[in-house]
Each structure stands twice: as C-alpha cells, then as structure tokens.
C-alpha cells in the first residue's frame, strides 16, 4: 500500500515514530498528483519543489525532537482564494492572474505552524461565485462536476492526492464538493475560524474550513485553524475546545432532527433513501429521531441570494469599473446583476436573516442536531448541469446544489458533510449534520458515529478517464 492510501492518523504515527519521513510522505502525494492530475485538473499551481524543501525541514525538526503534533509533515492542498506568501493566488480569475501575495492567510499560517506542507493551490469557480468548478473533474467520473466552488479541493482529497484541503463556504462551497466527491467537509460556526487573507464572496456569509478523508481529521484540522483574529471583524473571541474530545462517545440520547419540509422537495429518490437509512443507522445506535419543520423555509434562499449578490458586487465594484472584460461572462453577469439590488432590499434581507436565525434557535430547543441530504442529487454532468424534477421544473446545478446547504450559511450554524453511500451508478451520496452555534464537537461526534456504521468514508476514487467513466 502506498503512503497516500493510508489515513492521516496512520501516516502521522509513522512520521512520529520515524518509520517514514515527511519527505517520503510528500513525494507520495506528488506522485499521486502526477498520476491523476491530467484527468481531474484539480490544481491551479503545484508547489512540488517548495513542498519537498519544507518536508526536509520538517524531517530535521522531528529528528531534533521538535515534533509539533499529528499534522507535522502532512501534505496540504489550499483553495486558490487563500493568500499564500510568494505563491500565485489567482482566485481562478484573470482579474488576479499575476497576484503573488506577500503574506499568508490566517488559516494557512496556522496550518504551517502546525507543520503542514503545501503541495499546491486548488481550482475554484471564479472568485467562488458558483456551485460547480468548470476547470476540474470529479475523481469518481471526470465527465461530472466535482461541485464547487471548492471543487479542486474536493477532487484532490477524493482522488487521494492530499489528506486535507482547505475550502470556503458561502452557500455550501465546502459541503457541496465534499458531498459529490465522497469526502468529509466541515463548515464551522460563523466567526470560529479567521477569514483574513481569503478573497471574499460575501463577507457576512463566508466561512472557511477543511475537506478531509474522515471526520476525525476534520476536527483535528479545524482545531489548528480556529481562534480569534482581530483582522477578521466577524471573528469571535472565545476559547478553542478540543474538537476530538468525546468524539467516540456515541449518540445514545442525542436528538436528531429530521426535517419534514424544505429538504424533501425536488430530491433524487436515491438521495432521499440514503438520508433515511443514515437516520435509521443513528437510531439503532441509540439516537432519538425527532421530526421538525424548518421555520421560514420559503425565505432562506431569497435572503441568501439578496445578501450574497449585493455583497459580492460591492467587493468587486472596482474591478467591474476598471477591467470588466477580465471576468468570465458568467461571473461578470452575476456581479453586474448584483448592482441592481436596492439598498432597501439588502437591509430587509439582513433583517429577515435575523428572524430566520431566531426561528432556528427555537427549533433547536427540541433537537441537538439536524440531519438532511447535503445536495439533492449526485454529481451532474459537466456538459449538462441541469436537474429535471418530477414537478416539471428544470434547475441548474448551482441553484440545486446550494439550495440545501444555504440554510447553514444564513444561520451561521456549523455543518458537517459525511459520505453515506454510493449510488447505483457508483457516485458518492452524503448527508449533512447541522448543529447549534459553536457546537462543532456535537456534529463531529454524530458524524463519527455515522461513518463508523458504514464502509464508505475514506475511500479513494480510482480516477477513471472520460472513455471509461461511469454513465
């Protein structure tokens, strides 16, 4: 078995004991990247030479007794929205084709401090403005989307190149690619992890977090990323707990909310069935299933899009005036359309968001977490990104994919995507667990119990070519 095939914990143990070196681990990741990258094109920039140099430094540190912990010497992929000092950071846009930051983003700096080794920057939908990543392929079937906007990160983890990749989540952009690529994706509570040094899509909806191969790894990485940062106005000054403490305690007595609305309309039957079986698995482990009605459900998406489009247009205002031709047609249209949002509409959306947050707080008085599908369908074809529903409606993938993930952005609640099963066609299907504010440990505990009851978490995609792809 190759080193890239092992779990992060297994690799970390081998590094800690000296059985393998960070150089060997990094080289294994780079070899896997070379093997699969022509098919999935998950990376914008590969930093192979720098990675091997850092790996050699990590090897010397560990040999000298300066072991930093389980992330020391572990390869890392970073979404190309995150600033990386001296390394091209383009946001997958011609607007920033030559952008080389002089400082690292807060999250990257913290993971460097933990000893992680950057192997490359991963593809994103331009400026994260979309729920697909047109420049990357799904590792389970390269003719299909890896989701977005953190599609490159999802593909890189799903293909086994790295154990960890960073993403950002404004309307689901960590959980969507995690869901369709068959990996774990964790969006923490709004304010838990600093967004300083990360290009913004919508400042009051943006979150940063990890995509990993299993639930424990997500908690481990979030612990390293979290903490107060005065450079991020939304950052919350509160202690960072050990997210892995109690992760194996089980779910006996945990109240699992099962939504009777919103997450039930226009969903592929296989996805609905997988969510039901996930709930039943948790019930067999002692959880208590509680049917709940999602409050103010009809307002969630209007609020999400009114806030997102207005804030995105404000962020890109100078570029829209000075170099609009450097946007793709799709994103330029969205940015220009956002300027039509009236100030009164934006303010009303912000006020209504507060009402939604209060209503969800009331809902959580009867449950501990909410369990729902992550996305309404398996990965769509890159050539035909539309969903045709039984009620006769046709929905684009960006709308469909973000529809079920947006509530956790509007409310700011922590959400965890966990792989659950594979479709009859061999494509990943996952579920998301949404928790109370700053209760990431709870959703990790439930997610861990769910992954232990299945055999799909941690699988590495074979990365099929277009000619042999799943149909």
Alpha-carbon span 48 to 182, nearest angstrom: 26
> pLDDT band for position 1 (50/70/90)?
confident
Burial class (CB in 10 A: 0-12, 13-18, 19+), 384: exposed
Q: Which residue among 173, 194, 313, 397 is the active-site one?
A: 173
296 CB contacts (<8 Å, ≥6 apart)?
Answer: 352, 355, 356, 359
Quick: pLDDT tens for 297-340.
Answer: 999 999 999 999 999 999 999 999 999 999 999 999 999 999 99
- Terminal CA-CA length for the chain: 29
Q: For this structure, is 79 an active site residue?
A: yes
Q: % helix / strand / coil in the chain, to the nearest 5? A: 40, 15, 40
| pTM attached to this predicted model | 0.97
Q: Which residue among 149, 216, 235, 313 is the active-site one?
A: 149
**Residue 200 has what DSSP assignment?**
-
**Rounded average pLDDT over 270-296:** 98
Q: Considering the chain, what percentage of its residues have pLDDT values greater than 90? A: 96
**Rounded average pLDDT over 391-420:** 96
Q: How much is the pLDDT for 464? A: 61
Alpha-carbon span 177 to 148, nearest angstrom: 5
Quick: pLDDT tens for 202-243.
Answer: 999 999 999 999 999 999 999 999 999 999 999 999 999 999
Alpha-carbon span 158 to 152, nearest angstrom: 10
Q: Which residue among 79, 110, 187, 436 is the active-site one?
A: 79
Q: How many other CB atoms are found less than 10 A from the CB of residue 351?
A: 10
Q: How much is the pLDDT for 79? A: 98
Alpha-carbon span 167 to 150, nearest angstrom: 5
**Rounded average pLDDT over 21-31:** 98
Q: For this structure, is 149 an active site residue?
A: yes
Alpha-carbon span 187 to 408, nearest angstrom: 9
Q: For this structure, is 226 an active site residue?
A: no
Residue 465 has pLDDT above 70, yes or no: no
**Backbone phi and psi for residue 15, each to the nearest 5 degrees, phi listed first:** -70, -45
Per the DSSP assignment, residues forming a β-bridge with 76 are 118, 164
What is the radius of gyration, based on Cα positions, of the chain?
21
Q: How many other CB atoms are found less than 10 A from the CB of residue 252?
A: 10
Alpha-carbon span 194 to 175, nearest angstrom: 18
Alpha-carbon span 456 to 441, nearest angstrom: 22
- CA distances for 235 relative to 193, 232, 313, 334, angstroms: 7, 5, 23, 28
Q: Where are the beta strands (DSSP E) in 25-67?
A: 43-46
How confident is the prediction for the chain on average, in pLDDT?
96
**Rounded average pLDDT over 361-381:** 97
Residue 469 has pLDDT above 70, yes or no: no
Reduced to 3 states, what is the DSSP secondary structure of residue 46? strand
Contact 330, 391 (CB under 8 A): no
Residue 470 has pLDDT above 50, yes or no: no
Alpha-carbon span 101 to 83, nearest angstrom: 6
């Amino acid at each position: 078995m190759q080193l890239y095939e092992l779990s992060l914990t297994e690799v970390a143990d081998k590094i800690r004991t000296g059985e393998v070196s960070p150089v060997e681990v990094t080289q294994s990741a780079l070899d896997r990247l070379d093997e699969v990258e022509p098919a999935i094109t998950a990376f914008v920039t590969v930093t192979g030479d720098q990675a091997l140099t850092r790996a050699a430094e990590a090897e010397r540190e560990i040999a000298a007794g300066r072991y930093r912990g389980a992330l020391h010497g572990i390869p890392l992929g970073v979404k190309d929205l995150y600033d990386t000092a001296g390394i091209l950071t383009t946001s997958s846009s011609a607007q920033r084709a030559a952008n080389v930051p002089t400082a690292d983003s807060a999250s990257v700096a913290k993971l460097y401090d933990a000893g992680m080794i950057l192997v490359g920057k991963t593809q994103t939908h331009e400026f994260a403005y979309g729920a697909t990543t047109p420049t990357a392929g799904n590792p389970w079937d390269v003719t299909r989307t890896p989701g977005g906007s953190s599609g490159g990160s999802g593909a890189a983890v799903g293909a086994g190149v790295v154990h960890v990749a960073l993403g950002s989540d404004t309307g689901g952009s960590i959980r969507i690619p995690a869901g369709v690529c068959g990996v774990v994706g964790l969006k923490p509570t709004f304010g838990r992890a600093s967004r300083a040094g990360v290009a913004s899509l919508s400042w009051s909806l943006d979150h940063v977090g990890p995509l990993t191969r299993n639930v424990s790894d997500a908690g481990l990485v979030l612990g390293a990323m979290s903490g107060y940062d005065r450079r991020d106005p939304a950052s919350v000054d509160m202690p960072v707990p050990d997210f892995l403490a109690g992760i194996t305690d089980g779910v006996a007595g945990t109240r699992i909310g099962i939504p009777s609305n919103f997450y039930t309309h226009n969903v592929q039957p296989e996805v609905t069935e997988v969510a039901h079986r996930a709930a039943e698995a948790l019930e067999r482990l002692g959880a208590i299933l509680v049917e709940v009605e999602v409050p103010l459900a009809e307002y969630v998406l209007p609020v999400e899009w009114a806030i997102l489009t207005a804030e995105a247009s404000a962020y890109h205002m100078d570029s829209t005036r000075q170099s609009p031709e450097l946007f793709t047609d799709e994103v330029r249209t969205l940015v220009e359309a956002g300027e039509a949002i009236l100030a009164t509409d934006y303010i009303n959306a912000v006020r209504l968001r507060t009402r939604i947050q209060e209503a969800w707080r009331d809902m959580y008085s009867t449950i501990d977490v909410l369990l729902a599908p992550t996305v309404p369908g398996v990965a769509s074809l890159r050539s035909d990104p539309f969903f045709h529903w039984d009620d006769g409606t046709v929905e684009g993938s960006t709308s469909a994919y973000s529809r079920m993930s947006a509530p956790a952005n509007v409310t700011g609640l922590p959400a965890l995507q966990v792989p659950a099963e594979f479709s009859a066609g061999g494509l990943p299907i996952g579920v998301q667990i949404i928790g109370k504010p700053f209760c990431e440990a709870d959703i990790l505990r439930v997610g861990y119990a769910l992954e232990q009851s299945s055999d799909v978490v941690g699988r590495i995609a074979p990365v099929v070519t277009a000619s042999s792809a799943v149909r």
